[in-house]
Chain A
Amino acid sequence: EAQVTQNPRYLITVTGKKLTVTCSQNMNHEYMSWYRQDPGLGLRQIYYSMNVEVTDKGDVPEGYKVSRKEKRNFPLILESPSPNQTSLYFCASSRLAGFTDTQYFGPGTRLTVL
């Protein structure tokens, strides 16, 4: 089954404690991206990757890092989380870059930073 998986689905952590949210897709998609969703602000893109070892900043990259060492995986790293990073996070992938193709979303990760 074609899917995008994210882990963990829920996470409560404390300020400053490094964390990683994993994202994996099994569709051999080249394009992957991370979004955060906050009430009243909709979805905002954090980072995206056009292919292995190619990543770029989205609209709200501050406080986040990503890596794309393998085509299927695109982890999101918060080196020193802060309460303003409390949000619902989505990973997405597509065959072609950006929104020029159908997007497949992961189930979301609800992060709370205390």
Chain B
Amino acid sequence: KNEVEQSPQNLTAQEGEFITINCSYSVGISALHWLQQHPGGGIVSLFMLSSGKKKHGRLIATINIQEKHSSLHITASHPRDSAVYICAVMDSNYQLIWGAGTKLIIKP
């Protein structure tokens, strides 16, 4: 069983829909990151969380430390949001553990 699991693996939605991507982990962590990888390959760091909730534009990230779960939400989704979204955690030993990514396609 992977220590960081993302769901769904693939997600296709229509423009304007509310999107939720989930990340569950089984280890104690010091931080959790959400990253976005565009079709061209570039990687952008979206959020770093250790508790609570963060918002940036149409993106919202939440984390529940007790349940070892984080979600990334996209409101009013747009085709330019199409990308692979990656969850990565730093465990208490400062080891990096990566999720497999969620491929999101937003259709116009």
Binding site for B on A (CB under 8 A): 40, 42-45, 88, 90, 92, 97-105, 107-108, 110
Contacts and interface: CB of A to CB of B under 8 A. Distances in A.
Interface of B: 30-31, 33, 35, 41-45, 48, 86, 88-90, 94, 96, 98-101
Contacts, number: 47
Contact of B98 (A42, A90, A107): A42
B26 to A, nearest CB: 16
A105 B94 contact: no
B94 to A, nearest CB: 5
B96 A99 contact: yes
B45 A105 contact: yes
14 contacts: A42-B86, A42-B99, A42-B100, A43-B88, A44-B98, A45-B96, A88-B41, A90-B43, A97-B94, A99-B88, A99-B89, A100-B31, A103-B33, A110-B41
A44 to B, nearest CB: 8
Contacts of A45: 96
